Amino acid sequence: MTTGFVTNPNHYQHFTTGHPESPERLEVVLALLRESGLRDRLHEIEPREATDEELSWVHPPQFLEELRRICADGPGMIDIDTYVQPESYNIALTAAGSTIAATEAVVKGDVDSAFCAVRPPGHHAGPELAMGFCLLNNIAIAAEVARKRHGVERVAIIDIDVHHGNGTQDAFYDDGGVLYVSTHLFPFYPGTGPPRETGSGDGAGANVNIALPAGCGDAEYCAAFDQLVEPVVQRFRPELILVSCGFDAHFADPIANMALSNAGYGELAARSLRLAQELCDGKIVFLLEGGYDLIAVPWGVRTVIEVLLGEEPTPDPLGTLAFREPPDISGLLAEMRRLHGLS
């Protein structure tokens, strides 16, 4: 299988001292891919900037102009979590454009799958709001390009970041052409994503929030995929699957308190890939979102890429938690199956 890979080489100019969303997150990923030899086996996709037209399919021009101005006036803070530098707008353009380039390569059949190692992340950025370390919504923009330029009618977005992707949800909440399925810690930042948020209008039922309690690990995430993610994606029958892949649900992550291992991430990646192979000729793109432990993130990316290449993932140095008290999510999953007509 041919797997594409793209990164935005200008990312290192987007930084501020002491912030967890740092250039080092991506540098350790690139270093491990080089050292392992994986980078040489991937099809390199040329990074590029997103165009104003592509951005406008998610973000209105007035928001983009204001974001451009705020960045130009930087360094500064958009909110308590989200920083900008004068270069940040162009870096965000390259993160979004590179995600588009990878998605187009998959849609056109140039590669079977792709991984986008870009930053800043995007799934908290709403159509008119930058927040949560995110400036532009990379995955939503890529989904819209696939639909508007390449005739893809149904896109499924699977979000396995520990945080709810409120921006992605907002972009497609009343749009029946995009299925948004999120597994996230709840209650937690940004405070959105309870199960009752299921979409509205044409998008009613196409928004699936699997709001998990703290401490969920490999078994709980696999149960959520078994009972909810896989059946709702199969029912939707997408022509393309995009995955917001945040490694902050890993047990080593300093920001959250979930218990996934990288082996667990590999299993979720394999299940997502099987869905793509079953439903849409294997067309799938993974996009780096969060994840702030500098061992868990690069090994998580390596694991997902090995899965996309059809290989058994290499065991990572962190392993799994020796002991944990698993939460009982059977009632939650049963109620969600009823809510989404799967019972």
The catalytic residue positions are 124
| Dist CA 303 CA 222 (whole Å) | 16
| Dist CA 163 CA 253 (whole Å) | 12
* Coil, helix or strand at residue 285: strand
Maximum separation of any 2 CA atoms in the chain, in Å? 53
| Dist CA 121 CA 246 (whole Å) | 9
* Run of H or E including 222: helix 218-224
| DSSP string for 41-67 | GSEE----PPPHHHHHTTS-HHHHHHH
Q: Is 109 exposed, middle or buried (0-12, 13-18, 19+ CB in 10 A)?
A: exposed
| Dist CA 130 CA 185 (whole Å) | 21
Residue 155: closest CA among 86, 191, 103: 103
Residue 106: closest CA among 96, 119, 116: 116
Beta bridge partners of 243: 158, 286
Token code pair at residue 224? 């959520």
Q: Is 221 exposed, middle or buried (0-12, 13-18, 19+ CB in 10 A)?
A: buried
| Cβ pair 288, 119 in contact under 8 A | yes
- Number of neighbours of residue 177 by Cβ within 10 angstroms: 18
Instruction: Please identify which residue in the block is written with the tokens 């994840």.
Output: 291
